[in-house]
Amino acid sequence: MHPSRIKALLKWLALALSVVSLLASCAPSATPTPTPRPTPTFVSMLTPTPRPTPTPIKGEGQVVVFGQGAWEKWLGDLFIAKFEKESGCKVTYFGGLSSAMLARIKAEAGRPTVDIVNMDLAPQTDAKMMGLLEKNNRDILSNLEFVHPKLLDPDDMGIPFIMLGGPVIAVRHDKLKERNLPMPESWLDVANPAYKGRVGITVITATATQNFVALIARALGGNEVNDYVRAFDWVESKLAPNVMAVVAVAEWQKLLEEGSIWVGVGTWGRAAESAYRGIPVTLVWAKEGNNIDLNNLVVVKGASNPVCAQLWMNYALSKEVQDAIPEGLLRGPVRSDVAISEKVKDLVIKPADIDRAVELNRDALAKNLPDWVDRWTRIFGK
């Protein structure tokens, strides 16, 4: 072929390739087909992903409980056997007073023979300061979420079990009515000369009496930390001339019931028991306010069976146990979801009372107690 023809043919081929390339670049690109996804249904959008149910913590072996003697039968009749069956822990329970519990775990420090003790707030505070208590195991104590936050131990050592009430002004209203005497409304009214010789008060080793002195300090415009000397001056000059007897708790209740005491300062629970049995006793919540005392469960440092001890505490906070406390023990429950029946609503501390209660400085009370005992003894003798 002639060279000129070959040159012309190559020019046309190059032009054709350019056109093809241009057309290819202008053509729409192919769209990949997406993998279809299932359309979520209304139910699937609301239903959370199932979570595995946590395995309940079980115990085994024996747990030794040093508790309140007066409650042993109540606990045994209603709850101990059920707890043993559900938990795998065998309960050995014996009773006593909070002061005896503190003395025992102090004497047995480092080698305790009990796992858990059931004590009032003042001895519990002392036990914490002495380093005799274990911290709570929150993995076991699931029922703590139902307890009013103000009742929880700030150091997370032990749990509130029962609200006892603080001290109470217990009045034989029949005796006052017979003599047309006024009902006391204030803590300071206990010193009214109209009650001279008919006032009874519990001993200073009773938590209620210690709280009473603290509340007197507040009623006088001070507090239990800096002004308790002023409170003791009032006790000596104003209250002591009115007092017929300074006695142990059981004797105080006996004198109240027989009518020897017309106005008494003592433990809320004892006065409630008397009123529940039909004794004409009125429980007065003083206008300056009252504190709420607690009965607590605490695990002893170095306990042989801390798992069963924590399980026992968690069971004590169960709805089943707490629902039974108001009428079973005439004491207040610590769970906020327990309803109080009309039958006992004026006799027990209620969850609704927590927010109006006075909060006392427990550390100051524990620290100053030896001085308080000394001052009280100088006024009233042993």
pLDDT digits (tens, 9 = 90+) for 222-261: 999 989 999 999 999 999 999 999 999 999 999 999 999 9
Mean local confidence (pLDDT), 356-362? 90
Q: How confident is the model at residue 26, as a pLDDT?
A: 47
| DSSP three-state, residue 280 | coil
CA proximity to 205, closest of 377, 49, 5, 3: 377
What residue type is 267 in one-letter code? T
Is residue 293 within 8 A of residue 266, CB to CB? The reply is no
Note whether 99 and 107 are within 8 A (CB): no
Q: How far, in Å, CA of 221 to CA of 202, rounded? A: 24
pLDDT of 300 > 60? The answer is yes
When pLDDT is averaged across residues 139-146 and rounded to a whole number, the result is 96
Across 202-224, average pLDDT: 94
pLDDT: is 21 or 342 the higher one? Answer: 342
User: Quick one: which H or E segment has residue 201?
Assistant: strand 199-202
Confidence of residue 5 (pLDDT cuts 50, 70, 90): low
Residue of 8 and 276 predicted with greater confidence: 276
Alpha-carbon gap, residue 213 to 292, rounded angstroms: 14
- What is the residue-averaged pLDDT of the chain? 86
- Going 369 to 372 to 378 to 382, the CA torsion angle's sign is negative
The rounded distance, in Å, linking the Cα atoms of 80 and 72 is 10
Q: Spell out the residues 6+ positions from residue 374 whose beta carbon is closer than 8 angstroms to its own.
A: none
Q: Is the pLDDT of residue 6 over 60?
A: no
Residue 173, pLDDT above cutoff 50: yes
**What is the structure's pLDDT at 62?**
92
Let me know: does 290 contact 167? Beta carbons within 8 Å: yes
Instruction: Calculate mean pLDDT across residues 54-68.
Output: 75
Q: Is 185 left (phi over 0), alpha (psi -120 to 50) or beta?
A: alpha
CB 235 within 8 A of CB 372: no
pLDDT band for 262, please (50, 70, 90 cuts).
very high
Q: Which of 348, 306, 200, 194 is nearest to 263 (CA)?
A: 200
Rounded to two decimals, the pTM is: 0.74
pLDDT of residue 293: 87
